[in-house]
Amino acid sequence: MKNLFRLTLALVTVILFLPRQGAAQWDYLDVAPGYETLNLAVEGDTTATGDPVSLNRVYRLERGGMYLMNGRIVNIKGAPLRVWAAEGAGAKPLMIMAVNETGANDDFARIEGDAHFKNIYISGIDNIGIQDRYIMAIYDSAARIIWDGVHVDHSRQSHFRTYATDTKLLFNDCEFRNAIDLATPSNGRFFDGRGLMADSIMFQNCTFYLNSQRMFRTDGALTKNIIFDHNTFYQNVYGSMTASGLKQSGPIETGKGVNVRITNNIFQDLGVEGMRHLKTLVPSDRMPIIHVDSLKSTTIDESSRNWLVRNNAYGWSPIFPAFWNSWGIDTLVKGPAFISPYGDSAFFRTQPNFVQSGNFEELIQFADAPSPDTLMKWVRYRFESNFSNVGNPDPRADRNGIGDLTTKPETFGLESDPFNFDYPTSQQAYTAGDGGFPLGDLNWFPTRKAEWQTWVTDVKPEPGIATAYTLEQNFPNPFNPTTEIQYTLPRAARITLAIYNALGQEVVRLVNNEGKTAGTYGVKWNGKDTSGRTISSGVYFYRLQTPDAQITRKMTLIK
């Protein structure tokens, strides 16, 4: 099980998020800092017919540079949009939205194709000190989006939102903070799926802190694949506003996920407003941190779902349970729980494909996180003012403060003394993860993260299991129209050898759960799928699966 999970994490970025052009030689266009430079670079990067100059284009930004945006950037006729920081040391390039002649600002990017953003800092505060509505919106169905090392701050409504279906979204090594609308706290989300079905969403080694509504919102939509692995979630306000019903959603709205992996995370001080509207539920329920519900789908059967919720730490600073108790919340409707009584009884205790293990409550002593006292002032005021939203105190965590670019340019970008979510090695969470690694975002433990990167990409069987399974590189490669795949078994085993396309969809099984004796085998593939149709050129993957091991390699078909 552990080996399978490690392989899943190692390959998900390859299979689900592989660029449509395959292995590419990137075509860099260096963009100087300044006003409108990135806008003009993207808009002007076309041929005489308006087509993109290069499908492998990367807009490369200077480390430490400031880029003032004159409106959003958009894919050129659906071509991939890639905005990367230059390699090397130095601060991440800083993106700031400039207001137009009417005084209104715009979001940073409108995505109408695949996109990849790497090692940039996006400010949700514009040049005159006003919050943007949101940072980025996706409008292209089936788009594949990667955020890699992106730091995003201060949106009013949501940092990331979708207006498209069947998207594949990967967020890796990112920091999300301060999604809050002081006047309308029902806004303020890090991720907003807008009720549209997504194919795959993965957050790994990310840190999220301080927002007013859901941290992760799907708004009741199906999501085929969700992976939350090694993330730190801290300080979320969200209070339930449902007036009736038998069950509750919560700040992490995964309820209608089909295949879900929630592993090795920290969830602390989430849902601190609790169930702020008192009501009677029969049977009584509690707001869950991890939300699970029935699919109610006509196309996906409940029995096909697979959930693993393992090795997560959760907890609340003592001032929050004390407040809930003093206000009567805990007496009347209870405060938040990691998994609600409804979710536990209806799924994890009764459905064999819903598994939870190794989850525990522990208050993590972060090295230098925003104080819970500041958020407690917000919660107390909200209750005492009967949620009027008039004069709400500002709980946002930004040591630089918030200002305009002309008079207070120092307020933009990362602080010189940024928050730190490291924690003591003496805590249970430090060794509670898969492989004995710390829970939460491993970027706060650089040495351990380097060890983890080796561990998670090692797809060999666990110690004690024979290690002589081999899967050779197909020959010839690239090939047209046939190729041969050779594999070795150290002992008798039942094996499957299958071919997958770049989307992770199975193309054909060359060996289907057949018993084999120990030895070396070869099998030829003629480049056709299960139905006998010749497939198109592109990158494909072939996987050997046995009870003890899984090994995957890549091949290329060129016609």
Q: What is the DSSP string of 349-377?
A: TT-TTEEEES-EE-----SBPPPHHHHHH
Average confidence (pLDDT) over 377-396: 92
In angstroms, rounded to a whole number, what is the distance separating the alpha carbons of residues 438 and 232? Answer: 11
Q: DSSP H helical segments within 414-518, as ranges?
A: 446-457
In angstroms, rounded to a whole number, what is the distance separating the alpha carbons of residues 429 and 471? Answer: 37
In this prediction, residue 466 has a pLDDT band, given cuts at 50, 70 and 90, of: very low
Give me the pLDDT at residue 32, please: 98
Interval 108-150: pLDDT, tens? 999 999 999 999 999 999 999 999 999 999 999 989 999 999 9
In this prediction, residue 281 has a pLDDT band, given cuts at 50, 70 and 90, of: very low
In the block, residue with structure tokens 């090695």? 425
Interval 345-357: pLDDT, tens? 889 988 888 989 9
12 sits in which H/E element: helix 2-15
Average confidence (pLDDT) over 296-323: 91
Tally of residues, the chain: 559
- Own/partner contacts of 374-378, CB < 8 Å, gap of 24 or more, are 375/210, 375/235, 375/237, 375/269, 375/272, 376/272, 376/319, 376/320, 376/323, 378/237
What are the strands of the beta sheet with 109-111, ordered from one edge?
73-74, 109-111, 132-138, 155-162, 189-192, 216-217
Give me the pLDDT at residue 401, please: 94
pLDDT at 189 over 50: yes
In this prediction, residue 334 has a pLDDT band, given cuts at 50, 70 and 90, of: low
Q: Which of 171-175, 181-185, 286-290 has the lowest mean pLDDT?
A: 286-290
Give me the pLDDT at residue 23, please: 42
Q: Spell out the domains of the chain, with CATH numbers in brackets.
A: 27-221 (2.160.20), 237-397+422-455 (no CATH), 470-557 (2.60.40.4070)
Q: Is the separation of the CB atoms in 4 and 261 below 8 Å?
A: no
Across all residues in the chain, what is the average pLDDT?
Answer: 87
Interval 195-206: pLDDT, tens? 899 999 999 999
pLDDT at 473 over 90: no
